[in-house]
Amino acid sequence: MSASAAQKVDPAHATLWARHYPGHDMIGTRTFGFWLYMLTDAMVYAALFATLGVLSHVVNLAGGPSPSAFINPVYAYGETITLFLSVLIYGYSMVALKNGNRGGVIGSMFVAMLLGVIYLVIAGIDIGNMFAHGVTPQVSGFLSIFFTVIIYHALHILVGVVWMLVMMVQIAREGFSANVVYRLINLRLFWHFQAVIWVFVFTFVYLQGMVA
Amino acid sequence: MLVHLQGPWTPLLGRLTLQQIPYHVPILVVTFIVVAILAAVVLAATTYFGKWGYLWREWLTTVDHKKIGVMYILLGLVMLLRGFADALMIRTQQAMAVGPSSPGYMGAVHGYLTPFHLGQIFTAHGLIMIVFAATPLLVGLMNIIVPLQIGARDMAYPYLNALGLWLTTAGAALVMVSLFVGNFAHGGWYGFVPYFELPYSPGVGVDYWMWTFQLAAIGTSLGSINLIATIVKMRAPGMTWMRMPMFTWASLSTNLIALTSFPVLMVALALLGLDRYVGTHFYTSGMGGNLMLYNDLFWVWGHPEVYFLILPAFGIMSEIIPTFSEKTLFGYVTMVIASFAIGGVSWGVWLHHFFTMAAAPSVNSFYSVTTMLVGIPTGVKVFNWIFTMYRGRVRYELPMLWALLALFLLLVGGMTGMMNAFASNDYMWHNGLFVVAHFHMMVLVIAASIFGAVEYWFPKVFGFKLEQKWGKWFFWFMILGTGWTFVPMFLLGFGGMTRRLDYIHYTQWSPYLHIMLIGMVFYVIAVLFFVAHLYVSLRDRAENRSGADAWGTGRSLEWATHSPVPAYNFAITPHINALDEWAWRKENGLTELHPGNYEGIHMPKSTGVPFFLGILFMGLSFALIWRIWWLALVCVALIVALIIIRSFDRDTDMTIPAHEVEQVESGARDGTSENLPTAGVLGGTVIAHSVPQSGTGGINGSTTSTSPAWAPMDR
Amino acid sequence: MTEHMQNPLNHPEVQLANGRAYLASFIISMLLMTVGLWLAVAHITTPFGTVLMTSFLAGVVVIIQGYFILHMDISHAQMWHTVAMVLFLPLFVVTIGLTAWMFHGLYQRTMIMPPAASSMAHVPSMPH
């Protein structure tokens, strides 16, 4: 990375054309681009958490229920267990990929996907309960952001589940082609990132909500 | 749905009724007739010349970054014209509606535009100019030039590139549709709450604004990922970071800004959307909403956005000025640092857009200081450009004229910006015309750079230079227009005139407003000169043929390939040995551009999927605007299905065989002003499947590459 | 670099999958999150103290996860991923932090707090 002056190339012996250039690293480029996308998603979460911070004043409750009244720690913890477990199992799927083990990849991914579905069921029950008790996003500014964060996160899990389904079909069909491999790595980045995001959601929405 | 909507709603058509078509507004009726006639002419001409197949194959389904860039620029130019039309209407209204005795026409009490109509015009003007004119123009330029400057064959994600284009186009199309079906938002382009909430904007206007904005935001976000990945991962061998051209550095910095800030815009808009569609209370007045939250989130995006627009303009200037001074750019390293310093600092200044919104004095002071800090790297750039010119062999060709105009406007705009940076000053003239004049100066820097860039790189893309005479008339009348329009605006700002007025009470402001109208006349004449400029250039293209190094003194890598650029960019990927590689090669006599011994080249195939996704997204947005839920669901399902189906497509690449590369290379002349057999834009723009010799229309069957006739879903 | 063209499984980003790291991350994350939950449910300390401690625990977990499951290191394959993340981190801090500072000052200046304005827990009725 030094300035060009320090790397003067002798014109008489310079290489002008990169013959037989194998091209850029397609997989590395695509996973890098996807990682950039994940970071923009993280920025969305940052904006949502900023909003959460702003709308956590008592005025934003608008006389409605405060989180300590309606947050059910059992469901939140259940979601934590299922999600972290799913992330772990998907990790094992990637280890199977490293070893080229098609059955292992599909099998682990299937389990990870099921756990994702269980997460969605738990979230659905939890949110359903809240709605049934009149705790809805239309009640107050605070509840608006509360539900937006947890539903936005649940949407990611849904997308991940669908993606895993599609990947299982693609692996069965194509095997480990370059396209399938980079998509699996992208899915790993996506899915594992959900664990990181969940730590923030669990801590700042649920745990700190419980003691607000 | 979950919110109380004013007006009728049916399950089949949502809020769409015949009353939503404004056939009682004469201006819109006339506009529609003109647009319909123009569209009919274009469609008829395309059919008459039998060009539908060509259009589909070469343009609508392309994933070639150069063609996508050209389409972006075309879109930007069309929307620039639309935005200019809006500006003309604003200026005319304000010139007419001064004083209590000014007459009113066409239903307006004063002037000829009702407040409701004018509101939509200035809202559309702002949104269009920023998001649908400036952004596509700059993104188009970056698309074309960056891969060429780094020696790559295409961008990192060619398919995503096309998708970004079609999403942006869908957004622009929807803005145009809002003219004739429904109306547009009428509270200013940044959409302040609670005015943009449902109780105060019960119509579909804000929904149009919101969804077109989101479409453009998605398009730009995808584009930013693409450009960053390309620059980081796809540079040619030997191109270390410190050998990258300045425009590429600027593109990297600018797209980092876009990457980091657009998500926040999407959140700001999405939360407003939730308020309007679901009945949440993010920004409502009452029920626990917070009005300032919208401003905060919006301007977190809004400020980096303007730096996203200006940095490529600086990059363009950094390319043009060295070329026409025949000197390497002064202070390359400091220029690079300054680009990133501007980007970084720009992330910490956003509150200066709402100094007056009751933040604590310490907060205001902090943001004042950071805003002033941005001036330092900008100043570094200005001095470096000047030092580049010093003792250079300066040629005042058109691109250089534009770059120098941009530099001058930057001084005016930048210094008035510094005046605005003081919170105490801003308290006096917030929401006044002084701020408006300041940012129009900055936007004109961008416009001047864009025109300079178009002049500069046109020969590279199309193989012939634009003519000079009408171009210079265009240039001078743009200056006249700028001076006559914006100097009075600064003065009016000092006088206390506020923004967005449809009626001006103080008749002593009348002379200024009339002078500004004269300025607009100059702009109109300038536009006519621009049209003449293009027409004469096209007509005389055979005489203005250019070779690889169109200006003779090009310094960066894009001048080391033929004009127009072949589909694969470089027959053999170049190996980079120095900063300003092409200048280095010329100095050392290494200018041979036909290295021989070509191999097959692996390229992505065209695909119609991005185009169809664009249409589906447009349909989805339209359905959401008009609350036609069944249509929205159908579009979502189709979008998801199309994306998934496309991912199962294994046949997405092709190889251009070596003998065809050989053919293209031998056909490409690199000298200037030679009469080539097929002089012409249509056949010879970018040679994807055709060879620049008359007679051979396309790739003939003996290859493994694309077949000309194909169904869109095969790709 | 060319081997990837032949066999994508040899790509460094595939090869960096590490079962032990994933398991370690899972165990530590579960542990610390459970501790956090216990702190909140059992009301071990003041609300502010709980906020501080759970935030701290979250920070630790995220760093661990970043290293073990996101592979944020400075190896050649992952360098740019890490650089990109490092670029974004200050922006997260700026977005949330400056917003919080802004609104904290605003609230102090504009929110007139009624005397009994602590928790408004049991008021489920919502005026519409």
Q: Residue B541: phi, psi to the nearest 5?
A: -65, -30
Does the structure show a pLDDT above 60 at A82? yes
Banded pLDDT at C115 (limits 50, 70, 90): low
3-state SS of B262-309 is HHHHHHHHHHHHHHHHCCCCCCCCCCCCCHHHHHHHHHHHHHHHHHHH
Helices marked H in B330-432:
332-346, 361-373, 375-389, 398-421, 423-429
Nearest CB partner across the interface for C37, out of A28, A66, A207: A207
Q: What share of chain A is helix, strand, coil (3-state, %, to 5)?
A: 80, 0, 20
Tens of pLDDT, residue by residue over A152-210, are 999 999 999 999 999 999 999 999 999 999 999 999 999 999 999 999 999 999 999 99
Tens of pLDDT, residue by residue over B585-620, are 999 999 888 888 899 999 999 999 999 999 999 999
Q: What is the mean pLDDT of residues B23-38?
A: 92
Please give the pLDDT value at position C114: 60
Whether the CB-CB separation of B156 and B234 falls below 8 Å is answered with yes
What percentage of residues in chain A have a pLDDT greater than 90? 83
Q: Distances from the Cα of B152 to the Cαs of A167, B147, B148, B232, B264, in angstroms? A: 30, 5, 6, 11, 31
Please give the pLDDT value at position B2: 62
Banded pLDDT at C5 (limits 50, 70, 90): low
Q: Is the peptide bond before B564 cis (omega within 30 degrees of 0)?
A: yes
Q: Does C36 touch chain A (CB under 8 A)?
A: yes
Q: Does A50 touch chain C (CB under 8 A)?
A: yes
Does the structure show a pLDDT above 70 at B476? yes
Which range (B234-243, B245-254, B705-714) has the least confidence? B705-714
Does the structure show a pLDDT above 60 at B469? yes
Neighbours of A41 (CB within 10 A): 17
Tens of pLDDT, residue by residue over B174-195, are 999 999 999 999 999 999 899 9
Banded pLDDT at C111 (limits 50, 70, 90): confident
How does strand B653-656 pair with strand B601-604? antiparallel
Please give the pLDDT value at position B350: 95
Q: How far apart are CA C22 and CA B114, in angstroms?
A: 64
Nearest CB partner across the interface for A48, out of B234, B238, B267: B267
Name subunits touching C (3+ CB pairs < 8 A): A, B
Does the structure show a pLDDT above 70 at C2? no
Residues of chain A neighbouring C85 (CB-CB closer than 8 A): 35, 39
Question: Hey, CA dihedral for B294, B7, B169, B439, is it positive or negative?
Answer: negative
Does A98 contact C17 at a Cβ distance shorter than 8 Å? yes
Of B533, B447, B534, B523, nearest to B84 by C-alpha is B523
Which range (A135-144, B250-259, B691-700) has the least confidence? B691-700
User: Could you tell me which residue, B276 or B676, shows the higher pLDDT?
Assistant: B276
Please give the pLDDT value at position A6: 52
Tens of pLDDT, residue by residue over B540-558, are 999 989 989 999 999 999 9
Just give the CATH number of B1-141+158-222+240-288+614-627: 1.20.210.10
Q: How far is A142 from chain B (nearest CA, A)?
A: 7
Residues of chain C neighbouring B265 (CB-CB closer than 8 A): none
Banded pLDDT at C121 (limits 50, 70, 90): very low
What residue segments make up the domains of chain C, in order of their start? 8-71, 74-112
- If you average pLDDT over every residue of chain B, what do you get? 91
Please give the pLDDT value at position B697: 32
Q: What is the mean pLDDT of residues B290-298?
A: 95
DSSP per-residue codes, B204-273: SHHHHHHHHHHHHHHHHHHHHHHHHHHHHH-PPTT--GGGS-HHHHHHHHHHHHHHHHHHHHHHHHHHHH
Nearest CA in chain C to B233: C80
Nearest CA in chain B to C89: B260
Q: How far apart are CA B140 and CA B146, in angstroms?
A: 10
Please give the pLDDT value at position B670: 73
Q: What is the mean pLDDT of residues B202-213?
A: 96
Q: How far is B577 from chain C (nearest CA, A)?
A: 22
Q: Residue B588: phi, psi to the nearest 5?
A: -105, 15
Q: Does C52 touch chain B (CB under 8 A)?
A: no
Please give the pLDDT value at position B713: 26
Task: Name the amino acid, one letter, at B15.
Answer: R
C-proximal residues of B, 217-276, CB under 8 Å: 232-233, 256, 260, 264
Q: Residue B638: phi, psi to the nearest 5?
A: -65, -40
Residues of chain A neighbouring B262 (CB-CB closer than 8 A): 40
Long-range contacts of C41-47 (CB under 8 A, 24+ apart): C41/A73, C41/A210, C43/A211, C47/A211, C47/A212
Q: Is the peptide bond before B595 cis (omega within 30 degrees of 0)?
A: no
What percentage of residues in chain B have a pLDDT greater than 90? 87
Residues of chain C neighbouring B264 (CB-CB closer than 8 A): 95
Q: Does B278 touch chain A (CB under 8 A)?
A: yes
Does C106 contact B264 at a Cβ distance shorter than 8 Å? no
Does A16 contact B289 at a Cβ distance shorter than 8 Å? no
Please give the pLDDT value at position A58: 86
Q: How far apart are CA B287 and CA C128, in angstroms?
A: 9
Q: How far apart are CA B683 and CA B704, in angstroms?
A: 22
Does B575 contact A64 at a Cβ distance shorter than 8 Å? no
Nearest CB partner across the interface for C102, out of B232, B264, B363: B363
Banded pLDDT at B671 (limits 50, 70, 90): low
Tens of pLDDT, residue by residue over A115-128, are 999 999 999 999 99
- Which tokens go with B667? 């056909």
Q: Containing H/E element for B538?
A: helix B510-539
Which range (B99-103, B211-215, B401-405, B676-680) has the least confidence? B676-680
- Which tokens go with C26? 């899972």
Q: Does C92 touch chain A (CB under 8 A)?
A: yes
Q: Residue B572: phi, psi to the nearest 5?
A: -130, 130
Whether the CB-CB separation of B183 and B205 falls below 8 Å is answered with yes
Of B224, B129, B142, nearest to B447 by C-alpha is B129
Q: How far apart are CA B273 and CA B211, in angstroms?
A: 9
Q: How far apart are CA B377 and CA B367, in angstroms?
A: 17
What residue segments make up the domains of chain B, in order of their start? 1-141+158-222+240-288+614-627
Whether the CB-CB separation of B629 and B603 falls below 8 Å is answered with no
Please give the pLDDT value at position A178: 93
A50 alpha carbon, distance to own chain's centre:
19
Q: How far apart are CA B137 and CA B547, in angstroms?
A: 24
Q: Distances from the Cα of B229 to the Cαs of A37, A198, B301, B647, in angstroms? A: 11, 27, 22, 20
Does the structure show a pLDDT above 50 at C126? no
Nearest CA in chain C to B362: C105
Interface test with B, best of A36, A57, A176 (most B CBs within 10 A): A36
Does the structure show a pLDDT above 90 at B680? no
Whether the CB-CB separation of B603 and B155 falls below 8 Å is answered with no
Q: What is the mean pLDDT of residues B469-482?
A: 97
Please give the pLDDT value at position A37: 97
CATH number of A26-211: 3.40.630.30, 1.20.120.80, 3.30.420.40, 3.20.20.70? Answer: 1.20.120.80
ipTM for this prediction: 0.95
Q: Which residue has tokens 């596509």?
A: B136
Region of residue B279 (phi > 0: left; psi between -120 and 50: alpha; otherwise: beta): left
- Which tokens go with B587? 């100095």
Nearest CA in chain A to B227: A33
Does A185 contact C13 at a Cβ distance shorter than 8 Å? yes
**Per-residue buried b or exposed e for A136-146, using 16+ beta carbons within 10 Å of the residue's own CB:** bbbbbbbbbbb
Which range (B68-82, B291-305, B690-704, C108-122) has the least confidence? B690-704
A129 alpha carbon, distance to own chain's centre:
25
Banded pLDDT at B156 (limits 50, 70, 90): very high
Does C80 contact A32 at a Cβ distance shorter than 8 Å? yes
Query: Going by C-beta distance under 8 Å and a sequence separation of 6 or more, which residues neighbour residue A126?
Result: A72, A75, A76, A79
Banded pLDDT at C124 (limits 50, 70, 90): very low
Whether the CB-CB separation of A77 and C37 falls below 8 Å is answered with yes
Q: Does A145 touch chain B (CB under 8 A)?
A: yes
Does the structure show a pLDDT above 80 at C3? no
Does the structure show a pLDDT above 60 at C16? yes
Does B267 contact A51 at a Cβ distance shorter than 8 Å? yes
Tens of pLDDT, residue by residue over A5-18, are 456 888 888 899 99
- Which tokens go with A175? 């095997």
Of B44, B46, B24, nearest to B36 by C-alpha is B44
Whether the CB-CB separation of B132 and B76 falls below 8 Å is answered with yes
